[in-house]
């Protein structure tokens, strides 16, 4: 129960809810309304970016489960996305499985492979683990590039478009497919971290020896974290396969792993909401910078041929600025904004 | 000592009072050429506060680490007795299995989960009693939620017992040292220990905080009858609250007896005050 003196819970069940006050519910309602209206306000180009964001959010949440919540740094994100994409594409085009089944198969296969490549984490920590996961990235890349069986020696897999998707309404139809999936995935990830499984991940991150001493099976916790994280990443990869309609190895290189790491660092490590903000930021910023370049390009002709390079530099500068202002990411900035409004006009 | 006709919720051992709860026998622990513990053995009696004292580097924490499974001694055993007459050889088990038997501990240098709140730290103390299925966690509604609610009861009981109400939702990293020590005691208690290992719970505290902490340890002991192994440097505290004292020096057991016996033991006096010139 929220009163002027604070929030007073009457039951544990009430306290465990994700939202307690009317303001929080109102904020959620505004976001939901915005998400429902957005596709009718955006043109096809921006809607395409919105769809890429929705897919990236799932991947970023998955990576944050591993890096931000369990403290196991991973550079293998691109590889696990590739496993999800290739598995679902092969399952639905060559094995003839229905798409939902193929996606679920992809989630489980990626989870399994993630758990396998997570085994070095039982012995390695920090930078050493980063190098081990870098190896897993390169191993997976090597396999998908060289194993002709995967692409039937074509080098790529073509995934047929869903029958019900029309050419003109492609993006908006995909938006309605992706939005509920992403929403559920984010909610489920949030659920994990208010139950005992997620708490044991955070215990491993903060103090692994103490975690062991209170009864957390560290081996199990780490392998489960790798599997769960990779499951989300696999889902993201599988969706991207159907959305882009072609699967090629170029979309899953080390750059992608680094981009996703940047998303969760900018958004906020160890925060589900942060992963969402980070994914939006990192996917939106390049598009906005391109837009900006197009607008000012004509007025400064001597720079127009340098625009792509300037865009990259600005992208980097924006990230550094954000990290300097708030190392704990966008999620923390948002919390501070909320606190400011809550305490206004009494600032201290 | 009071006899008990009941078993308190915070004590999961059913060994009758006065019977041996933990038997440590001729433990030898080496790190390379360094012998940390040499032929150490004593028995901890159910219902006792059993102090382990000794100068710095005597091997007290190493001994505790052997009991809780963080170190594995090359020779010797630590055997935990259960109420039904069975026993477990702790020195052969990994730490999380030992925790499942109800052996709970605190650490000399606070080892809390610093980014989590007091409540989350204490709920983690319930880990061995909870289920951790991936599917039920993803879904939340149903078993995961019910489990959170049902385990909250004992956690709140410990919060009340240790006066942690005001800090319930604070991240432990932001709390004062003395409070953190208390949270660590609480985290061990919610496990419903059969044996409680406290590694210098009063280190670095002023007289008043020490008194508080001693009171909490005594409360827990009197209320629940939990068997406690206590490592402590403060002689006054040890002599006041413990039923039995074992003294280590350079990895060897040099005395084992009641506080009064130990205080006058010549070997102990020598270890602490130095030998008199003859």
In a shared domain, residues A128 and A267: no
Count each helix (H run) and each strand (E run) in chain B, helices first: 10, 10
- Cβ <8 Å between B137 and A212: no
The predicted pLDDT at position B276 comes to 62
Residue A113 placed within a domain: yes
Last residue of a domain, one of A196, A220, A252: A252
Residue A307, in any domain of the structure: no
Domains of chain B: 13-102+193-270 (3.40.50.300), 114-192 (no CATH)
A137 and A274 inside one domain: no
Strand order in the sheet with B75-81: B34-45, B20-31, B75-81, B87-89
Q: CA–CA separation, B87 vs B199, rounded Å?
A: 24
- Report residues of chain A scoring pLDDT below 70: 1-4, 297, 304, 346-348
> A206 vs B94: CB contact, 8 Å cut-off?
no
Exposed e or buried b per residue across B219-242, where buried means at least 16 C-beta atoms within 10 angstroms of its C-beta: ebbeebbbbbbbbbebeebbbebb
Asked if B229 and B219 count as a contact pair (C-beta separation under 8 A), the reply is no
Asked if A208 and A172 sit in the same domain, the reply is: yes
Nearest CA of chain B to the CA of A202: how many Å?
8
Residues A127 and A271 in one domain: no
Judgement on whether residues A220 and A260 belong to the same structural domain of the protein: no
Q: Are A276 and A222 members of one domain?
A: no
B contact set with A (CB within 8 A):
68-70, 94-96, 99-100, 104-105, 107, 111-116, 120, 123-128, 130-134, 136-140, 144-145, 147-149, 152, 187-188, 191
User: What pLDDT score was predicted for residue B9?
Assistant: 85
Which of B104, B125, B140 is facing A195, going by the closest CB pair?
B140
Tell me which chain B residues have a C-beta less than 8 angstroms from the C-beta of A112.
none
DSSP designation for B78 = E
Choose the final residue of a domain: A237, A252, A267. Answer: A252
**Residue B10 host element (H or E):** none
Asked if residue A93 belongs to a domain, the reply is yes
Residue A21 lies in a domain: no
* Chain B hits for A217, Cβ within 8 Å: 96
CA-nearest of A150, A55, A36, A47 to A103 is A55
What does each of the 278 residues of chain B score in pLDDT, given as a tens digit?
Answer: 455 666 788 888 889 888 999 999 999 999 998 999 999 999 999 999 999 999 888 999 999 999 999 999 999 999 999 988 899 999 999 999 999 999 999 999 999 999 999 999 999 999 999 999 999 999 999 999 999 999 999 999 999 999 999 999 999 999 999 999 999 999 999 999 999 999 999 988 888 999 999 999 999 999 888 999 999 888 888 888 999 999 999 999 999 999 999 988 988 888 877 766 55
A6–chain B Cβ distance below 8 A for any pair:
no
Q: How far is B13 from chain A (nearest CA, A)?
A: 17
Distance from CA of A215 to the nearest CA of B (A): 4
The 10 Å CB-count burial string (b at 16+, else e) for B14-40 is ebebeeebbebeebbbeeeeebbbbeb
Instruction: Note whether A158 and A186 are same-domain residues.
Output: yes
Task: Indicate whether A183 and A259 sit together in one domain.
Answer: no
Which chain A residues touch B116 with a CB distance below 8 Å? 199, 202-203, 206
CA distance A203 to A197: 10
Residues 9-28 of A with CB under 8 A from B: 12-13, 16
| SS3 call for B213 | helix
Whether A57 maps to a domain, the answer reads: no
ipTM for the complex shown: 0.91
A28 located within any domain: no
* DSSP label of B33: T
Q: A115 with A187, same domain?
A: yes
Contact A210 B112 (CB under 8 A): yes
Name the residue in chain A with its Cα closest to that of B122: A214
Per-residue pLDDT at B6: 66
Note whether A199 contacts B127, CB cutoff 8 Å. yes
* Co-location of A248 and A262 in the same domain: no
Last residue of a domain, one of A229, A252, A275: A252
Task: Output Rg (C-alpha) for chain A, integer angstroms.
Answer: 21
How high is the pLDDT of residue B233? 83
Phi, psi (degrees; rounded to nearest 5) at A172: -70, -35
Domain span holding position A161: 62-252
- Give me the residue from A196, A209, A214 closest to B99, CB to CB: A214
Q: Are B96 and A212 in contact (CB < 8 Å)?
A: yes
> A13 in a domain, yes or no?
no
Contacts of B112 in chain A (CB under 8 A): 206-207, 210
Interface contact flag, A195 B124, Cβ < 8 Å? no
Closest chain B residue to A206, measured at CA: B113
The minimal CB distance from B100 to the residues A196, A215, A224 is found for A215
Same domain (yes/no): A231, A125:
yes
Asked if A84 and A221 sit in the same domain, the reply is yes
Q: How many domains does chain A have?
A: 2
Looking at residue B43, the DSSP 8-state letter turns out to be E
Residue A229 lies in a domain: yes
């Amino acid at each position: 129960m929220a009163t002027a003196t604070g929030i007073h819970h009457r039951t544990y069940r009430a306290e465990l809810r994700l939202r307690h006050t009317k303001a929080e519910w109102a904020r959620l309602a505004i976001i939901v309304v915005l998400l429902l209206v957005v596709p009718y306000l955006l043109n096809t180009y921006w809607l395409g970016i919105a769809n890429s964001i929705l897919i990236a959010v799932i991947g970023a949440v998955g990576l944050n489960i591993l890096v931000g919540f369990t403290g196991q740094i991973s550079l293998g994100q691109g590889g696990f996305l590739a496993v999800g994409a290739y598995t679902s594409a092969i399952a639905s085009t060559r094995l003839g499985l229905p798409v939902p089944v193929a996606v679920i198969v992809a989630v489980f296969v990626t989870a399994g492979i993630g758990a396998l490549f997570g085994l070095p984490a039982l012995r390695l920590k920090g930078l050493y683990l980063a190098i081990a996961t870098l190896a897993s990235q390169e191993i997976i890349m090597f396999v998908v590039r060289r194993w002709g069986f995967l692409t039937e020696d074509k080098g790529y897999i073509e995934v047929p478009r869903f029958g019900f998707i029309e050419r003109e309404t492609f993006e908006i139809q995909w938006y309605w497919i992706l939005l509920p999936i992403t929403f559920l995935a984010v909610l489920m990830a949030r659920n994990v971290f208010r139950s005992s499984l997620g708490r044991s991940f955070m215990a491993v991150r903060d103090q692994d020896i103490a975690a062991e001493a209170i009864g957390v099976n560290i081996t199990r916790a780490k392998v489960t974290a790798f599997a769960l994280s990779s499951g989300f990443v696999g889902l993201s990869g599988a969706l991207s396969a159907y959305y882009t309609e072609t699967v090629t190895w170029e979309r899953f290189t080390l750059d992608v792993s680094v981009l996703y790491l940047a998303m969760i660092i900018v958004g906020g490590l160890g925060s589900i909401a942060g992963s969402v903000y980070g994914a939006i930021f990192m996917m939106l910023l390049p598009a906005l910078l391109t837009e900006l370049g197009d607008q000012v390009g004509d007025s400064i002709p001597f720079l127009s041929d340098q625009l792509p390079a300037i865009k990259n530099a600005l992208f980097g500068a924006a990230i550094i600025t954000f990290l300097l202002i708030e190392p704990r990411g966008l999620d923390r900035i948002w919390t501070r904004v909320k606190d400011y409004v809550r305490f206004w006009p009494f600032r201290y | 000592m009071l006899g008990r006709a009941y078993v308190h919720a915070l004590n999961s051992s059913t060994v009758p009072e006065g019977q041996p709860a933990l038997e440590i026998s001729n433990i030898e622990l080496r790190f390379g050429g360094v012998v940390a513990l040499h032929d150490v053995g004593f028995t901890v009696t159910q219902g006792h506060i059993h102090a382990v004292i000794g100068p710095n580097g005597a091997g007290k924490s190493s001994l505790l680490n052997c009991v809780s499974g963080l170190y594995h001694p090359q020779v010797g055993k630590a055997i935990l007795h259960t109420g039904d007459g069975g026993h477990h050889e702790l020195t052969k088990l990994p730490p999380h299995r030992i925790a499942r038997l109800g052996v709970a501990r605190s650490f000399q240098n606070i080892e809390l989960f610093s980014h989590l709140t007091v409540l989350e730290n204490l709920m983690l103390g319930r880990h061995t009693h909870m289920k951790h299925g991936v599917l039920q966690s993803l879904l939340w509604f149903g078993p995961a939620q019910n489990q959170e609610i049902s385990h909250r009861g004992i956690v709140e009981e410990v919060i009340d017992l240790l006066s942690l109400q005001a800090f319930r939702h604070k991240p432990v990293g932001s709390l004062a040292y003395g409070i953190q020590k208390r949270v660590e005691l609480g985290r061990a208690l919610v496990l419903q220990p059969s044996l409680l290992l406290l590694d210098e719970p009063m280190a670095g505290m002023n007289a008043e905080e020490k008194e508080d902490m001693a009171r909490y340890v005594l409360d827990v002991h009197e209320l629940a009858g939990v068997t406690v192994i206590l490592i402590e440097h403060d002689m006054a505290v040890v002599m006041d609250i413990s039923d039995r004292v074992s003294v280590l020096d350079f990895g060897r057991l040099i005395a084992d007896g009641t506080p009064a016996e130990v205080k006058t033991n010549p070997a102990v006096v020598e270890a602490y005050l130095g030998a008199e010139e003859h």
